[in-house]
Structure 1
Amino acid sequence: MSTESGWSEPAWDDPALTLLARRLRDAHRLVAPLPPEPRQRLIRHLLAITDLAKRDADLAARRLAAFLEDFEGTRSTGR
């Protein structure tokens, strides 16, 4: 890519964003086998976190961590 235009490419090799993307992918995989009603609600939550990641990756990572903690807690208690 030429930098003559004054535009430079985004830095795609960002370890924090790569980790966030992988964790989001894994969260979707955890939710996928659930029955339709809870799955749809949880997927909407994950999509909101994904959208937030476009503006604030750090906050999105914290919200995803809280989502996963709550999800695992719910699974282990059977609620």
Structure 2
Amino acid sequence: MGESETWQAGPAWEDPELTLLAARLRAAHERISPFPRESRLRLHRHLLAITDLAKRDQELAARRLVVFLDQLDRGLEPE
């Protein structure tokens, strides 16, 4: 199996919670793509910080993502 085939096959392990968190982070990135450039850059940095946190504490990262998305839903720009 070549390198590209390995990448497409995904990881050998399966963590449903981490997979869900990753999908929610991707969706959050898509949601902020229509924002003006300055806002979008700030929001991307926020999401990258949550992504980095997920490497160490996925439960805390999931909670922070919920707060981030809630603020977006309410029309507030997450801080």
Q: What TM-score range do you get, normalising by the shorter chain? A: 0.7 to 0.9
For residues 66 and 13 of structure 2, what CA distance do their matches in structure 1 show? 23
For residues 68 and 40 of structure 1, what CA distance do their matches in structure 2 show? 16
Mapped pair 1:18 → 2:19: yes
For residues 53 and 11 of structure 1, what CA distance do their matches in structure 2 show? 19
Residue 56 of structure 2: SS of its match in structure 1? coil
Structure whose alpha-carbon radius of gyration is higher: 1
Q: Give 1:12 deviation, angstroms.
A: 2.5
- Name structure 1 gaps, 5 residues minimum: 1-9
Number of equivalences: 66
- Name structure 2 gaps, 5 residues minimum: 1-10
For residues 71 and 17 of structure 2, what CA distance do their matches in structure 1 show? 22
Give the equivalent residue in structure 1 for 2:50.
49
Residue type matched to 1:22 in 2?
A
User: Percent identity between the aligned chains?
Assistant: 64
For residues 18 and 36 of structure 2, what CA distance do their matches in structure 1 show? 30
TM-score, with normalisation over the residues of structure 2?
0.79
Give the equivalent residue in structure 2 for 1:39.
40
Q: Give 1:31 deviation, angstroms.
A: 0.6
For residues 25 and 42 of structure 1, what CA distance do their matches in structure 2 show? 13
TM-score, with normalisation over the residues of structure 1?
0.79
Give the equivalent residue in structure 1 for 2:8.
none
Q: CA RMSD in A?
A: 1.5
